[in-house]
């Protein structure tokens, strides 16, 4: 697979693998833990080198899964994980925290669960408004000096916050939602990343599955599926937003591809330092997603997508209000 360079010289596969859904957020999985380990190792065999997890996924169990799956090839891959949430004794979330002492405790926990001596890319999961970002960046800088962390990342951070952090410790990558139905990063964030030489790792590049064309107004979400609480996934919103999928399907038919592949190819065509991390629990979807790296969208294709998408108004917020408030955007 094509390789791409994020900031700070970190080279990764053009498409990575988001591993969160193997442990939470999308309802019960039909696969077992062994199935998920096999899927992650299959991704490695198909050229994926960037794997994304976080202490909050599960919590904790997703890091354990990723660590076990990647142990045989640890030196061949980039493991990204995240800090920034506080937890109650029972493991439930109790808010945000990025105090330096918390970061130090969090990194030790992540290293242990991942079974590794260093974290390749360590993201602040959410910006904590109660802690100056300069102190956060300084704490990660100390971990980099100790060799426990190799690169600093941020997630869902605003342009001004990124600048302040980068002045203390260079930011290698920003992770935020970005796709054809969520393009806010284009307004302020992408220009700052280009200016500072920071890579971009879009999560939910397939719109939490909607852009695959496999979800419609009649879809019923299972217990534990976060999409049931997201305004953009209300039945009336899905019906209205089908126009985005129809656009992708039109281009896909011309390219002998799927809507998901066109959505990913569109992202890859935006900047050479963008590496999306679609998640999946199914081998056939993994293969489909990775094949998007081989699709070439011409300037005419991109112009046609831009023209058509400009006429579409996406209905519904991307998060419920309490989750949107946790972002820095």
Distance, CA of 233 to CA of 319 (rounded, Å)? 10
Distance, CA of 189 to CA of 137 (rounded, Å)? 18
- Please, is 113 exposed, middle or buried when counting C-beta atoms within 10 Å of its C-beta (0-12, 13-18, 19+)? buried
Nearest 5°: the CA angle 270, 276, 279 is 150
Helical H runs in 71-188? 100-114, 133-146, 159-168
Q: Are strands 121-124 and 152-155 parallel, antiparallel or unpaired?
A: parallel
Is the N-terminal amide bond of 101 cis, ω within 30° of 0?
no
Helical H runs in 71-132? 100-114
Report the pLDDT value the prediction gives residue 112, as an integer from 0 to 100.
98
Report the pLDDT value the prediction gives residue 329, as an integer from 0 to 100.
85
Strand boundaries in 196-321, DSSP class E? 199-203
Catalytically active residues, by annotation: 57
The token pair that represents 274 in the structure block? 């963008």
CB neighbours of residue 94 within 10 Å:
11
Report the pLDDT value the prediction gives residue 172, as an integer from 0 to 100.
98
Distance, CA of 275 to CA of 175 (rounded, Å)? 10
Mean per-residue pLDDT pooled into runs of 10, the chain (329 residues) = 97 98 92 97 98 97 98 98 95 93 98 98 98 98 98 98 98 98 97 98 98 95 95 96 96 97 98 98 98 96 96 96 93
Query: Locate tokens 């953009």: which residue?
Result: 232
Strand boundaries in the chain, DSSP class E? 3-5, 11-13, 17-18, 50-52, 78-83, 85-87, 93-96, 121-124, 152-155, 171-177, 199-203
Residues 6 or more apart from 277 whose CB is under 8 A from it?
15, 16, 17, 18, 50, 52, 175, 201, 202, 203, 205
Report the pLDDT value the prediction gives residue 91, as an integer from 0 to 100.
86
3-state helix, strand, coil in the chain (%, to 5): 50, 15, 35
């Amino acid at each position: 697979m094509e390789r791409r360079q994020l900031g700070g010289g970190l080279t990764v596969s053009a498409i990575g693998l988001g591993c969160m859904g193997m442990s939470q957020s999308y309802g019960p999985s039909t696969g077992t833990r062994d199935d998920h380990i096999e899927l992650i190792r299959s991704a490695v065999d198909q050229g994926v080198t960037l794997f994304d997890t976080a202490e909050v996924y599960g919590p904790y169990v997703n890091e354990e899964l990723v660590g076990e799956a990647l142990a045989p090839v640890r030196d061949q891959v980039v493991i990204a994980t995240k800090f920034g949430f506080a937890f109650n004794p029972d493991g439930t979330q109790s808010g945000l925290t990025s105090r330096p002492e918390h970061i130090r405790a969090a990194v030790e926990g992540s290293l242990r669960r991942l079974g590794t001596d260093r974290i390749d890319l360590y993201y602040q999961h959410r910006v904590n408004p109660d802690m100056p970002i300069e102190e956060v960046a300084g704490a990660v800088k100390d971990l980099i000096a100790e060799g426990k962390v190799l690169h600093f990342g941020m997630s869902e951070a605003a342009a001004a916050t990124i600048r302040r952090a980068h002045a203390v410790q260079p930011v290698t990558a920003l992770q935020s939602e970005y796709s054809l139905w969520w393009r806010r990063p284009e307004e302020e964030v992408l220009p700052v990343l280009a200016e500072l030489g920071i890579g971009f790792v879009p999560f939910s590049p397939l719109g939490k599955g909607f852009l695959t064309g496999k979800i419609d107004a009649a879809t019923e979400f299972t217990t534990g599926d976060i999409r049931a609480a997201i305004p953009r996934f209300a039945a009336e919103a899905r019906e209205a937003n089908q126009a985005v999928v129809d656009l992708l399907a039109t281009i896909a038919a011309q390219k002998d591809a799927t809507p998901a592949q066109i959505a990913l190819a569109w992202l890859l065509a935006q900047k050479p330092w963008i590496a999306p991390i679609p998640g999946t629990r199914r081998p056939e979807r993994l293969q489909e997603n990775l094949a998007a790296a081989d699709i070439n969208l011409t300037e005419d294709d991109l112009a046609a997508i831009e023209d058509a998408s400009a006429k579409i108004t996406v209905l519904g917020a991307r998060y419920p209000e309490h989750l949107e408030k946790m972002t820095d955007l």
